[in-house]
Chains A and B, each alone.
Chain A
Amino acid sequence: MAGKLRLVVVTPEGKTFDDDVEQVVMPGVEGQLGILPGHVPLLTAIQPGELDLKAGSRGDELAVGGGFAEITGDRVTILTDMAVKPEDIDEHAVEKALESAKQALLEKKAGPEAAELMALIQRSTAQLNLKRKRRTQI
Chain B
Amino acid sequence: MASTRDIRRRIRSVKNTAQITKAMQMVAASKMRKAQQAALAGRPYAEAMNRVLSSLANRVGSISHPFLEKREIRRPCALVISTDKGLCGALNTNLLREVGALPKETVFVTAGKKGKQFVARMGRELLADFDVKDDASSYKIKQISQFLIEQYLEGKIDSVSIFHTRFVNTLVQKPERTDLLPIGKLEKLQAGTGEHSESAIQPDENLQYIYEPSGDEVLSALLPAYIHFQVYQLVLDAKASEHSARMVAMKSATDNAKGMIKDLTLEYNKVRQSGITTELLEIATAQMAMA
Residues of chain A touching chain B, judged by Cβ–Cβ distance below 8 Å, are 8, 10-15, 28-30, 40-45, 67-68, 70, 72, 77, 79, 81, 112, 115-116, 120
Contact = CB atoms under 8 A, between A and B. Distances in A.
Interface residues of B, number: 35
Nearest to B38: A13
Contacts, number: 92
Interface string B217-232: 1100110010011001
Interface of B is mostly: helix
Interface of A is mostly: strand
Interface in B192-220: 204, 207-213, 217-218
7 contacts: A12-B42, A13-B41, A44-B211, A68-B52, A77-B52, A115-B146, A116-B142
Interface string B130-145: 0000000011001100
Q: Which of A8, A13, A28, A67 has the most B CB atoms < 10 Å from its CB?
A: A13
A77 B49 CA distance: 10
B44 A15 contact: yes
Interface of B: 38, 41-42, 44-45, 48-49, 51-52, 55-56, 138-139, 142-143, 146-147, 150, 204, 207-213, 217-218, 221-222, 225, 228-229, 232-233
A70 B212 contact: no
Contacts of A40: 210
A79 B138 contact: no
Given A14-B44, A15-B44, A68-B222, A79 B212 contact: no
A40 B45 CA distance: 22
Contacts of B143: 112, 116
A8 B138 CA distance: 20
Contact of B55 (A14, A29, A30, A43): A43
B206 to A, nearest CB: 9
A43 B41 contact: no
B52 A12 contact: no
Q: 8 shortest A-B CB distances, which residue pairs? A: A14-B41, A44-B212, A10-B45, A43-B209, A41-B209, A41-B207, A10-B44, A42-B210
Given A41-B208, A79-B52, A30 B213 contact: yes
B225 to A, nearest CB: 7
B218 A43 contact: yes
Contact of A30 (B207, B212, B229): B212
Given A44-B213, A77-B52, 11 more contacts: A8-B44, A12-B41, A12-B229, A13-B41, A41-B210, A42-B210, A42-B212, A44-B218, A45-B221, A70-B52, A70-B209
